[in-house]
A and B are shown apart, each in its own frame.
Chain A
Amino acid sequence: MLFLDELGEFAPAVLDGLRQPLEEGVIRLARARASASLPARFLLVAATNPCPCGGGAPGVCECDDGARLRYLRRLSGPLLDRFDLRVGVERPTVDDLLATGGGEPTVVVAQRVAAARRASLDRIGIMPSEIPPSRLDELAPLDPAARVRLREHLESDQLTGRGYHRVRRVARTLADLDGAAELVADEHVVMAMQMRVRLSVSSRVRAA
């Protein structure tokens, strides 16, 4: 597992170097006399502020669009597209920080994850993340409402081809967590889409 904190502070070339191993699960080294392939299957987790000031709700951020643009330009579209989950996190309030009741214990969550993994293995023999694009319809079929929903997202350009495959795998995973229904339901697709936050200056500018 590779955790990159402050993703926005890495040099763009370094980040784009991650694309190929992320996609293929191997690192290819080519030198003058030799080349080698090293196994590199890893889980990439990254955190970033949305802008130099740390951001916050719309209208709160200190940065002008130019500063945001320079900051976000480091995160290329193709790189962001390769994240299965992109989740926005609200800044904790004072009450949150002082609250003593913790969230759900990790043990409980781990049990749920283990159950979902077992369910997937029992059903199709592999993890949803390993389903090749060509077999998505066979191994992770959608119910009609979910199919319509995805078509709408694709037609409105909110989803790339690569993103489409990723959303389907995430939706299948959510279905497994939900008790392994045979078909992926609309709500799983919606949830998967909501976990692909659009991170851009242009979304705000275009909305302006």
Chain B
Amino acid sequence: MSPTTTTDLPAEAYVAALAGFRNMNVHRLSALLRHHPPEQAWAVALGEAPTHGLVARVLSDPYVRASWRTCAGERPPGEVWARCHELGLQVLPYGAPGYPACLLDDPLPPPVLFVRGNLGLLAGRRVAIVGTRNATAGGREASRSIGLGLAAAGVHVVSGLARGIDGCAHQGVLAAEGEGRPIGIVASGLDVVYPREHRDLWQATANCGLLISESPPGTAPEAHRFPLRNRIVAALSEAVVVVESRERGGSLLTAGDAVHRDITVMAVPGPVGRRASAGANALILDGAVPVTCADDVLTFLSFQHGHSAVLAADLRARPKGDDLAVYRELQRDPRTIDGVALVLGLSLVDAAMRLARLEVAGWVAQADGWFECVGSPLR
């Protein structure tokens, strides 16, 4: 049974459909497309056309070939192409006009990219901000403020649109009044928003920035796709800033990808012993550039920049006297109400009142019983 091969489909349609096969990977797809034009590659993948020995070796697994034939029946090129069209995606096979120049000589270039938004942004200055999904309030704030500062200085911010550090970086970018735009690299298809609560952030990134995936529409955010996504984050950036990362976090893989590509790695140092900063601190020990704010990153990029006039005045009432002591304690470590009372030697009610005042004023927030400092830190 031969799947529909209508001749009026563009070559990209075959590439897009092949990229969506189960058990397809970068190596297999690259091998196919390096040696065959797309339509022929499609036929080769289905075993309907002959190929050379090298490609045949890469594709030798009979189980894989069987699953490909099933996939071809489920999602023929015409259907995948129609979906890309419907979503307004550009499909850029390796080497096509518009394919990012910085990926052409990558050690593991994506065989195809699916794109929404403005590809012209890749001609500008780009810095990646990455980090753990399980961030502390301080890490989220650092990410947001670095994103904001870079965008205000006209630097585009590349990130993975994940929860935690990634999302905050782009929120900062969107809050900035500058030329810098968000560039989001995601692991799923561009119609599969993950995590779902970032729907608005995806939309905003596509509308005013650039959204890129290596996978065709409909691709689920499977775990193995995230490390691959990270290499594109690194490859599209001039420098990678790791804001917070665990000792074995995914952002360390991004940092590794950056080192592999001779791209500068920067890291925001955190308290010794705090898990969320263990990875970032280890990177600094390994020679990453320590940075604490957007200006540090800009200085490294030899940017001419004025003082951070972009930071809006803080309208929150400054905590006074006793409340300040609680705030300073929470700056050191997140605490429960009991912890605050014990450490500062307060009665529970006294601790509760101070925390309530700080919470109302917007200096701290509580989740799961833990109080953390939020917003830009009190200077």
Contact surface of A with B, Cβ cutoff 8 Å: 50, 55, 57-61, 63-65, 86-90, 152, 187, 190-191, 193-194, 197-200, 202-208
Given A59-B136, A199-B368, A203-B368, answer yes or no on A88-B336 (Cβ-Cβ < 8 Å).
yes
Bound-state Cα–Cα, A197 to B334, Å: 15
A-B contact pairs, 5 of them (CB 8 A): A58-B367, A64-B134, A88-B337, A88-B369, A207-B374
Query: Complex formed: what's the CA distance from A88 to B195 in Å?
Result: 28
Is B157 an interface residue, CB under 8 A from the partner? no
Q: Give Cα distance in the complex from A204 to B349, angstroms.
A: 25
Given that A57-B333, A207-B374, A208-B135 are known contacts, is A190 also in contact with B353, CB under 8 Å in the complex?
A: yes
With a cutoff of 8 Å between Cβ atoms, the chain A residues found around residue B334 in the complex are 57-59
CA distance A59 to B142 in the complex (A): 14
Residues of B within 8 A of A194 (CB): 337, 352, 355-356
Contact indicator per residue, chain B 355-368, by CB within 8 Å of chain A (1) or not (0): 11000100001111
| B214 at interface by CB-CB < 8 Å | no
Give CA–CA (A64, B365) in the complex, Å. Answer: 20
Cross-chain contact B349 with A187 (CB below 8 angstroms):
yes
> When the two chains form their complex, are residues A90 and B339 in contact, meaning their CB atoms are under 8 A apart?
yes
Task: Return chain A residues, CB-CB under 8 Å to B139.
Answer: 59
Q: Which of B307-341 contact A (CB under 8 A)?
A: 333-339
Contact of B356 among A59, A64, A88, A190 (CB under 8 A): A190
Name which of A187, A194, A200, A203 has the most chain B CB atoms within 10 A of its CB.
Answer: A194
**Residue total for B at the interface (Cβ-Cβ under 8 A):** 40
| Least CB distance, B56 to chain A, in whole angstroms | 40
CB pair B276 A60 closer than 8 Å: yes
Which of B12-20, B86-94, B160-168, B286-294 lies on the face that meets chain A?
B160-168
Contact A197 B369 (CB under 8 A): yes
Whether A64 and B133, one on each chain, are in contact in the complex, defined by CB atoms closer than 8 angstroms, is yes
A198 pairs with B337, CB closer than 8 A: no
Q: Please measure, in the bound complex, the distance between the C-alpha atom of A197 and the C-alpha atom of B371, giving whole angstroms.
A: 10
With A187-B353, A191-B352 known as contacts, the answer to whether A61 contacts B370 (CB < 8 A) is: no
Give, as a whole number of angstroms, the nearest-CB distance from A80 to chain B.
Answer: 12
List 8 extra interface pairs beyond A57-B370, A190-B352, A199-B369, CB under 8 A: A59-B276, A65-B163, A88-B337, A89-B369, A198-B367, A205-B197, A207-B137, A208-B135
Contact A208–B338 (Cβ < 8 Å): no
Nearest chain A residue, comparing its CB with the CB of B374 = A207
- In this assembly, does B348 line the interface, its C-beta being within 8 Å of a C-beta of chain A? yes
The main secondary structure of chain A at its interface with chain B is loop
Q: How far is the CB of A188 from chain B (nearest CB, A)?
A: 8
Contacts known (A59-B274, A59-B276); A197 close to B368, Cβ less than 8 A: yes
Known contacts A194-B337, A208-B140; A88 and B352 CB within 8 A of each other: no
Check B257 for interface membership: any CB of A closer than 8 A.
no
Taking a contact as CB atoms under 8 Å apart, the answer to whether B352 and A207 are in contact is no
Please determine whether A197 and B366 come into contact, CB atoms closer than 8 angstroms: yes
A152 to B370, CA, bound (A): 21
CB distance from B310 to the nearest CB of A (A): 22
A58 to B366, CA, bound (A): 10
Tell me which residues from 223 to 243 in chain B have a Cβ below 8 Å from any Cβ of chain A. Answer: none
Task: Please name all residues of chain A whose beta carbon is closer than 8 Å to the beta carbon of B69 when the two chains form the complex.
Answer: none
**Contact among B137, B360, B369, B370 with A87 in the assembled complex (CB-CB below 8 Å):** B369
A163 to nearest B CB, angstroms? 15
B128-152 contact mask (Cβ, 8 Å, vs A): 1 or 0: 0000111111011000000000000
Mark interface residues in B259-288 (1 if CB within 8 Å of A CB, else 0): 000000000000000111000000000000
Interface residues of B in 101-145 (CB under 8 A from A): 132-137, 139-140
Which one of B132, B275, B333 has the greatest number of beta carbons of chain A within 10 Å? Answer: B275
Q: Which residue of A lies closest to B195 (CB)?
A: A65
Q: Measured between alpha carbons, how far is A101 from B207 in the docked complex, in Å?
A: 62
Nearest CB in chain A: distance from B376 CB, A: 15
Cβ contact within 8 Å between B164 and A208: yes
Q: Is B372 an interface residue (CB 8 A)?
A: yes
CB pair B370–A193 under 8 Å, yes or no, is no
Q: How far is the CB of A172 from chain B (nearest CB, A)?
A: 15
Q: Which residue of A lies closest to B197 (CB)?
A: A205
Contacts of A55 in B (CB 8 A): 368
With A187-B353, A194-B355, A208-B140 given, is the CB distance from A59 to B135 under 8 Å? yes
**Complex alpha-carbon distance, A58 and B141, angstroms:** 14
Q: Does B244 lie at the interface of the complex (its beta carbon under 8 Å from any beta carbon of A)?
A: yes
- Cα–Cα distance between A152 and B366 once the two chains are bound (Å): 16
Task: Please give, as numbers and ranges, the residues of chain A lying within 8 Å of B133 by CB-CB distance.
Answer: 64-65
Q: Is the CB of A205 within 8 A of B163?
A: yes
How far, in angstroms, from A63 to B244 measured CA to CA in the complex? 16
Q: Distance (Å) between the CB of A6 and the closest chain B CB?
A: 16
In the complex, chain B residues whose CB is within 8 Å of the CB of A200: 367-368
